[in-house]
Amino acid sequence: MAWIEPVLTGAVVAVAVLCLARLALSVQRRRGGRHPLTDRNIDFAHALMGAGMAAMFASTTAVPARLGWACLFVATAVWLGFLVARGRPAGTYAHHAVASLAMAYMFAAARPHTGPHVMLTTTGHAGHQHGTAMMPAISAHPAGFAFPLVAWGLVSYCALSAGYAGTDLLRAAGHPACDLPAAQRRLAAPRLAAASELVLSGSMVYMFLAML
């Protein structure tokens, strides 16, 4: 099913772009002294996750870049945890802190597949002739994660998150009642946030399972 990854890549890129647009709308309204309508911290976390997953799907991220992504997600998790400690909605912010740590783990602990390569090994000769000879051997490193039990735990968590996001999508209200143009009302709709969460959680489940 070679079509899955291109579809998911397009979906997470779309989520990143839409959440950046929601973030810009929130900042614009806040500067104008109006209610922001969306949570800029959650919009930023969703946009960052979408961009990070797109980088993972691209499979061209070098080790230093992966460590940079991991540090960025750890910093996001620390910030969200700080907001929880200051009395912000614990459930929502704590969930996104866990999701950010899951992304950090994905970047830092992933072992990309390396194709087969030839290396020389030393073998002995039996009989009257003694000595050693260099013989070729094929070696390959499969994809996976360091500490795979952590990955399996995160798979379960992301699957539950996707399920909750699906129910939130079904129960979410329509467009917010405000003075915004129709396009901006659709952008600020709670259903878009729930759909973003569903896409991101489902994509994380797929990425973890594909590498385990």
Q: Where are the domains of the chain?
A: 4-113+144-211
List the one residue out of 124, 114, 104, 1 whose CA is nearest residue 52.
104
User: What pLDDT sits at residue 22?
Assistant: 92
User: What pLDDT sits at residue 20?
Assistant: 95
CA distance 85 to 112: 36
CA distance 66 to 63: 5
User: What pLDDT sits at residue 141?
Assistant: 43
User: What pLDDT sits at residue 117?
Assistant: 45
List the one residue out of 47, 35, 91 whose CA is nearest residue 73.
47
User: What pLDDT sits at residue 144?
Assistant: 73
User: What pLDDT sits at residue 201?
Assistant: 96
Q: Look up tokens 């797109």; give the residue.
A: 54
CA distance 100 to 92: 12
The stretches of the chain forming alpha helices (DSSP H) are 4-31, 40-58, 63-85, 90-109, 148-171, 182-187, 190-211
13: left (phi > 0), else alpha (psi -120 to 50), else beta? alpha
User: What pLDDT sits at residue 80?
Assistant: 95
Could you tell me if 206 and 57 are in contact, meaning their C-beta atoms sit under 8 angstroms apart?
no
CA distance 152 to 143: 15
pTM of the full structure: 0.80
CB within 8 Å of 154: residues ≥ 6 apart: 102, 105, 204, 208
Full pLDDT tens readout for the chain, 212 residues: 678 999 999 999 999 999 999 999 888 888 877 777 888 999 999 999 999 999 988 875 576 788 999 999 999 999 999 999 988 777 889 999 999 999 999 999 877 655 444 445 555 554 555 555 555 444 444 457 878 899 999 999 999 999 999 998 888 766 665 667 777 778 888 888 999 999 999 999 999 998 88
Q: How many beta carbons lie within 10 A of that of residue 127, not counting itself?
A: 5
Name the residue type at position 153.
Answer: G
